[in-house]
Amino acid sequence: MLRRLFYDARIRDLFWQVAISASLVGLTVFFVRNASQNMVNAGIASGFDFLWRSAGIDVPFTLTGYKSSDNIWALFWAGVTNTLFVSLISMLLATLLGFVIGLARLSSHWLLSAIAGAYVEFVRNIPLLFFVLFWYFGVIAALPQPRDSLNLFSAIFLNNRGLTVPAATSGAPFQWALAAILFAFAAQWLVSRWAARRKAETGADTPVLAIGLVLCALVPIAALVWAARSTGWDMPQAGRFNLRGGFVIIPEFVALLAALVTYTAGFVAEIVRGGIGAVARGQREAAASLGLKPGQILRFVVIPQAMRVMIPPMTSQYLNVLKNSSFGAAIAYPDVVSLFMGSALNDTGQAIEIIAMTLAVYLFFGLIVSALMNWYNARIALVTR
Amino acid sequence: MSARAASLRLWQQRLFSTPAQTAITLAIAVCVVWLLTPFTRWALVNATWSGETRADCVPGGACWVFIRARFGQFMYGFYPVAERWRPNLFGLVSLAAIAPLFVLTGRARLRLGIAALLVLPPLGVWLIGGGYGLAAVETRAWGGLMLTLFIAIYAGLIAVPLGILLALGRQSRLPLIRTLSVVFIEFWRGVPIIAVIFLASLLLPLVMPAGVGVDRLARAVIGLGLVIAAYMAEAVRGGLQALPKGQAEAASALGLGYWQTTGLITLPQALRISLPAMTNEFIALVKNTTLVLVVSILDLLGIAQSSLADPAWVGMNIEAYLFAGTIYWLICFALSRWSRSLEAGGPKGH
């Protein structure tokens, strides 16, 4: 009887699963009991009440209007917005730079391709933290003092305290401009859909590209110029020792952004190269023999197929940028790790709650990035029967 | 046509075959010269190579004297000079034990591999850390390149076996084990490593019974090991999925059980396929060891960073970073070349 039970596959499966879950539950109970005992001994409170306490922590750079008299919950959000802010801008710039380097790598010009290759090999084999520290302590610290700032048209100043740019005195015109730009993009999307249907039904061409140029380039430029002219500007002025006025982008942000962009671009370049290289040569040749022009070949044949290969690895690069933005903690860029997991944790000592909330931020926004990229991937995926 | 003329022609074709190409070549050449001239002048021409103190260095050039004076620290951190033979000896013993693995084949190689895996890690901890007859050296004194390699290897020793188990767990037909593996892998892959190192250094002491301490360095190694295990698991899964199903089916038709099939048939082949991917994860691990800086453990980059605070050597930022960066680059570049040659060699058929 016991022998039969021992050799029964279903019983064995059940046994292993019960054994593993029992040991996990046991381990968890052990950890939780120790933790609660240790916390009682150390006099650390538990629960989320600390979030409504006044933070009293100064944040040098914030987009949420946080003040040090606000509560810790507001500090948390200031950190989250700073994390998202640097991540989004890095993703955008790293994609652009990565595309340029990847295309240079594929160029038929030997020297251009060799230099792009050297850049990729250089960047991929060095720790990101090295770049962060290098940009911060090596490059930005070596910039001149505020009174000898490097300046561009006496409007943008760069020095070892950061980048000072003119600040708009009123945000309202820019909100209108943003609305106009979004409206133009939506219109372009509708026009291209309508043009595709018209082409399928009647075979007639629509000058989509020209319309797109007007809607996606001229409208935004016009809107931004209008907005810039209809608001006042607070121009930075060179004082005796320091600059006055303007909006200061802190050096930590500049260093972190530069590090994330230069590092990630090396990885994006390889993805671009792999994606375009994965499109079979016959595809281009077939397109050319059908009489498509080089631009059309790239647009209708090569890029759509390359995108399918590129989207999954690009997704993981975007997720990496989101996670890597936490490297800012090493130079005290006020992101969620350094503000919340660093300063707030030091003040309150409530490690478990704070760590859980910080990790939840990354998991949550990571899921959002994956969901968006998967949605886009499904849209462009090859439809097979 | 002579070989010389042929190569000249090749270069002419590569760089100057059309006017557009010539223009690009010249533009790049101007940029490179414009960037490299001041750098070479600083790093080589005006640099100072020998001397004792900062005062020996010529302004306007690199001060490599600094690297010379600090070389011991860059390699060993604050490890006592009189005891440095211990990590050196461990390095030599490890090399002597591992080198034959590249030559031997079959059963002898397997036996040596297992013996090395069982003996070397505890031997290293004993030799470097001391105790049992050797003078104890606290982990606080460890540092530099030695510590970088230590963290990478010991975190790898956690990550590889755990990663293999997780990859097997993810492919398991038992729903509970599959779910647990997926949750573990996706959780650690979704959070930043810097946060995990903070987490390990704060939570590990908290969840241990009162009075049981966990060494600061051990916490960082465990934290890194757990995260990299999740990434390793995905690398191994790639290999497992690339195997034709017939392999496991044939093994089971021969009457082999799960562990026999896995240990003798599927896993060895899967590991061979995923070795390049696993090497890439190891490179990522070497790069990520730098993050222990945030819990004030001074690895190579940490030592470079902390040496900048020395008042006797103000303004050596670029020299220190260049030196540390070059070492990281050499290690990672060598590993990535090795991984690429593995990929090119490819698995020797199923």
What ipTM is given for this predicted complex? 0.87
C-alpha to C-alpha distances, A229 to A151, A223, A224, A235, nearest whole angstrom: 22, 10, 8, 14
Q: Is the alpha carbon torsion for B188, B191, B194, B200 positive or negative? A: negative
Residue B198 has pLDDT above 70, yes or no: yes
Rounded Cα distance, A270 and A124, in Å: 10
What lies within 8 Å, CB to CB, of B330 at 6+ separation is none
Element (H, E) at B182: helix B175-190
- Facing residue for A130 by CB, picked from B203, B209, B301: B301
Would the pLDDT of A154 be above 90? no
Phi, psi of A249 (to 5 degrees): -95, 120
Distance spanning both ends of chain B, measured CA to CA:
48
pLDDT for A369-385, tens place per residue? 888 888 888 887 766 65
Say yes or no: B303 contacts chain A, CB-CB below 8 A: no
Phi, psi of A244 (to 5 degrees): -115, 145
- The yes-or-no verdict on residue B234 having pLDDT over 80 is yes
Contact status, residue A287 vs residue A300, Cβ threshold 8 Å: yes
Q: How confident is the model at residue B152 (pLDDT cuts 50, 70, 90)?
A: very high
Q: Which helix (H) or strand (E) element contains residue A243?
A: strand A243-244
pLDDT in tens, A116-136: 999 999 999 999 999 999 989
Q: What integer pLDDT is reported at residue A241 of this predicted model? A: 64
Query: In which band, very low, low, confident or very high, does the pLDDT at A293 lie, cut at 50, 70 and 90?
Result: confident
Measure the CA–CA gap between A347 and B259, rounded to whole angstroms.
51
Q: What is the pLDDT of residue A227?
A: 80
Percentages (nearest 5) of helix, strand, coil residues in chain A? 75, 5, 20
Asked if the model's pLDDT at residue B18 lies above 50, the reply is yes
Q: What is the pLDDT of residue A90?
A: 94
Q: Average pLDDT, stretch B321-343?
A: 90
**pLDDT (average), residues A233-246:** 70
The shortest CB-CB distance from B206 to any of A38, A109, A329 is to A38
Specify the DSSP element, H or E, that contains A259: helix A251-277
Q: Tell whether A122 is within 8 A of chain B (Cβ).
A: yes
Which pLDDT belongs to residue A153? 75
A142-164 mean pLDDT = 76
Q: What is the mean pLDDT of residues B256-262?
A: 89
Neighbours of A167 (CB within 10 A): 15
Q: What is the pLDDT of residue A265?
A: 95
Is A152:A141 a contact under the CB 8 Å cutoff?
A: no
Q: Is B181 exposed, middle or buried (0-12, 13-18, 19+ CB in 10 A)?
A: buried
pLDDT for position B341: 86
Identify the pLDDT of residue B349.
46
Which residues from chain B sit within 8 angstroms of residue A137, using beta carbons? Answer: 305, 308, 317, 321
A345–B328 C-beta distance less than 8 A: no
Nearest to A341 among B28, B190, B195 (CB): B195
DSSP letter (8 states) at residue B142: B
C-alpha R_g of chain B: 25
pLDDT at B154 over 90: yes
Contact B316, B304 (CB under 8 A): no
Q: Report the residue of B191, B193, B308 to disrupt the A interface, i.e. the one with the largest count of A CBs within 10 Å.
A: B191
pLDDT at position B350 is 43
Question: In degrees rounded to 5, what are phi and psi of residue B314?
Answer: -75, 140
A240-263 pLDDT, tens per residue?
666 777 777 888 998 999 999 999
Q: How many CB atoms lie within 10 A of CB B230?
A: 22
Above 90 in pLDDT, residue A95? yes
Q: Let me know if A59 is exposed, middle or buried by CB neighbors in 10 A (0-12, 13-18, 19+).
A: buried
Question: Where residue A27 falls among pLDDT bands split at 50, 70, 90?
Answer: very high
Q: What is the mean pLDDT of residues B164-175?
A: 91
- Reply yes or no on whether the pLDDT at B347 is more than 60: no
Distance from CA of A278 to the nearest CA of B (A): 18
Output the pLDDT for position A240.
63
Among A115, A136, A134, smallest CA distance to A266 is for: A115
| DSSP-assigned states of every residue in B260-315 | HIIIIIIHHHHHHHHHHHHHHHHHHHHHHGGGGGGGT--BHHHHHHHHTT-GGGTT
Question: CB count, 10 Å around CB of A5?
Answer: 11
**Distance (Å) from the alpha carbon of A325 to chain B's nearest alpha carbon:** 9
User: Between A16, A133, A358, which is nearest B305 by CB?
Assistant: A133
Q: From residue A260, how far is each of A130, A322, A335 by CA, in Å?
A: 11, 10, 14
Q: How confident is the model at residue A203 (pLDDT cuts 50, 70, 90)?
A: confident
Interchain contact, B174 vs A16, CB within 8 Å = yes
Q: Is the pLDDT of residue A169 over 50?
A: yes
User: Which DSSP category does B42 fall into?
Assistant: I
CA–CA distance, A277 with A115 (Å, rounded to integer): 18
The alpha carbon of residue A43 is apart from the nearest alpha carbon of chain B, in Å, by 13
Residue A239 has pLDDT above 70, yes or no: no
Residue of A nearest to B288 (CA): A127
Residue A137: what pLDDT?
A: 87
Neighbours of B311 (CB within 10 A): 6
Q: Domain A72-152+250-380 maps to which CATH number in 3.40.50.720, 3.30.70.3420, 1.10.10.10, 1.10.3720.10?
A: 1.10.3720.10
- Cβ(A287)–Cβ(A367) under 8 Å? no
CA dist., res. B235 & res. B164, Å (int): 9
pLDDT tens digit sequence for B44-86: 878 788 877 777 787 778 888 888 888 988 999 889 988 889 9
Instruction: With cut-offs at 50, 70 and 90, classify the pLDDT of residue B1.
Output: low
Q: Which residues in chain B have their CB less than 8 angstroms from residue A326's CB? A: 192, 194-195
Q: Kindly state whether B230 is in contact with chain A, defined as any CB-CB distance less than 8 angstroms.
A: no
* Interchain contact, B332 vs A125, CB within 8 Å: yes
Question: Inter-chain contact A137–B317, Cβ cutoff 8 Å?
Answer: yes
**What pLDDT score was predicted for residue B57?**
80
How many Å apart are CA A341 and CA B195, to the nearest integer? 8
Q: What is the mean pLDDT of residues A352-368?
A: 91
Domains, in order of start, for chain B = 3-45 (no CATH), 65-79+137-345 (1.10.3720.10)
Q: How far is B271 from chain A (nearest CA, A)?
A: 22
Domain borders along chain A are 2-43, 72-152+250-380
- pLDDT, averaged across chain B: 87
Separation in Å, CA of B284 to nearest CA in chain A? 8
| Model pLDDT, residue A270 | 92
